[in-house]
Structure 1
Amino acid sequence: MNVLFVGDIFGKPGRFVIQNYLSKIIEELGIDVCIANGENVAGGKGITEKTARKLFDGGIDVFTGGNHLWDKKDSLNYIAEEKRILKPINYPSAALGARYFIKTISENNKLAIVSLIGQAFIASVDSPLFSLEKILPELYEHTNKILVDFHAEATAEKRALGLYFDGKISAFLGTHTHIQTADEEILPNGTAYITDVGMTGPHDSVIGIKKEIIFEKIKTGMPQRYETAQNGLQLNAVFLKIDDESGKALEIKRIKRKYND
């Protein structure tokens, strides 16, 4: 099974990259399943029905979430109904969004996708470790191929959980910081790992925001109104090859492409 996981899609520039370049990458790499973190697709915060539908049409199969997933209040009903938009499973049960998604490639070849969020410096939620452990038996009833997006701030928290779940899942992929890390590897027991997949959106920016705004905030210490940067485009992602029989990762490869549009 060939899987593409796209790092946090940020605003209009990120959507442009998906709508104009993703299909070529899917064809080039022979992708069976394409997943993306979607918590920033609408103006850098949240997701709407309109933006989600366009990106589904652009080749995304399922969106994982994060702390900004529900920022667009007029889209909450859509999030509640759309099974391809996942909430982090360690939020309260009343939080809107699906708990996981099973993507069927064929009758005997399926991938379970799970969204999880960290506790350190980001969200007051249930333990990500215990929450993922609790849901694994339910996922194993469907498939032994499981991908987890761990949306977290602290690199140590990401690394610790990645090592803990090594051999229990196919891939443990970090998101949230918007900075792609260069530590991708297959862990000893067969789980693909990376601390952060990165961001798909404006390259000439500070994690998606106009750099001049961040400069001013640093210089003055005063709050600023954030605006999405528009200059330079990039796609950050990882390519995964997962063994159809064992569910173990065979390959993980970082993808970082820049575009001049």
Structure 2
Amino acid sequence: MRILFLGDVVGRSGRTAVLESLPKLRERYRADFVVVNGENAAGGFGITEAILLELLDAGADVVTTGNHVFDQREALIFIERQERLLRPVNYPPGTPGRGVGHFKAANGADVLVINVQGRVFMADLDDPFRAIERELEACGLKSGADAVVIDFHAEATSEKEAMGHFVDGRATAVIGTHTHVPTADEQILNGGTAYISDAGMCGDFDSILGMDKEEPISRFLTKIASRRFAPSLGEATICGVGIEVDDATGLARAIAPLRLGGRLSQAEPAFWLTET
């Protein structure tokens, strides 16, 4: 099985790039399952139902989020009816929506997707490790799902690495999101779980984390907010990873970065290109 994961979609620039490119990428790589983190898709803050439906129509099988999931207040309502939109599973009981979903891949495989948020330098949600443990006990790799993909939306690299090793051999992949900068530590852990600290963002990198540069720089210099952050509108780079899954075990055979368009060095999963 082939899993394509795209990092945080930021604003109109990132959204347009993903909507235009994802159908072609899915066909080019013959991806069986696509996960897109869409928590910054609406003006850099949150996601609307219209944008969610556009991402799903473009080829996303599930859209994950993070700490900005409810920045657009309408999400509190529509997340209840949109089963392919996930928010972090470790939000307190009673929070609208769901943090885990069981989905069917194009090849017929059952894929469990878990969205979870870290606590280091972030909001003090419920323990992400215990939340993940509960979900894996309820639906384990090959005992309940053919693949298990975890979007770990967290700030601290140490917390992300700890999660990777915590579930090593029990999940197909742990993909870090939130910091918007693609890391170069993609690897297969000892137990067979694919890992990367951050998949990066789908947005304009002539920016500060996808935002227009002027206001963030001003705040660093003055400690005063003069206006709302606004997404940068230049050409976006699509960032993510491709994961090749061993169908017999549900563990990862390979992981490689994806970077297309914009300012960053370009990269595609070579293990898919040789057969396309």
Q: Give the structure-2-normalised TM-score.
A: 0.90
Cα distance, 1:93 vs. partner?
2.0
Alpha-carbon separation, structure 2, partners of 1:218 and 1:240: 38
Aligned to 2:179: 177
Alpha-carbon separation, structure 1, partners of 2:70 and 2:85: 11
3-state SS of paired residue (1:63): strand
- 1:1-261 matches, within 5 Å, as 1-105=1-105, 109-140=109-140, 142-224=144-226, 225-259=228-262
Query: Does the Cα contact within 8 Å between 2:204 and 2:262 map onto a contact in 1?
Result: no
Q: Deviations over 1:200-249 (max 9, x none)?
A: 01121111110122222222221132111111211001000111110110
Query: Does the Cα contact within 8 Å between 1:33 and 1:103 map onto a contact in 2?
Result: no
Aligned partner letter, 1:110: D
Query: Does the Cα contact within 8 Å between 1:146 and 1:171 map onto a contact in 2?
Result: yes
Q: Percent identity?
A: 37
Return structure 1 stretches of 4+ with deviation > 4 angstroms.
none
3-state SS of paired residue (1:81): coil
Alpha-carbon separation, structure 2, partners of 1:87 and 1:208: 21
Query: Does the Cα contact within 8 Å between 2:6 and 2:239 map onto a contact in 1?
Result: yes
Q: Deviations over 1:42-80 (max 9, x none)?
A: 111111111111111111110112111011112321111
Structure with bigger strand share is 1
3-state SS of paired residue (2:139): helix
Aligned partner letter, 1:239: G
Aligned partner letter, 1:143: A
Aligned partner letter, 2:170: K
**CA separation of 1:108/1:56 partners in 2, compared to 1, >3 Å: closer, same or farther?**
closer
Alpha-carbon separation, structure 1, partners of 2:3 and 2:122: 28
Alpha-carbon separation, structure 2, partners of 1:126 and 1:75: 21
Count of aligned positions? 260
Query: Does the Cα contact within 8 Å between 1:82 and 1:98 map onto a contact in 2?
Result: no
How large is the Cα RMSD of the aligned pairs?
1.5
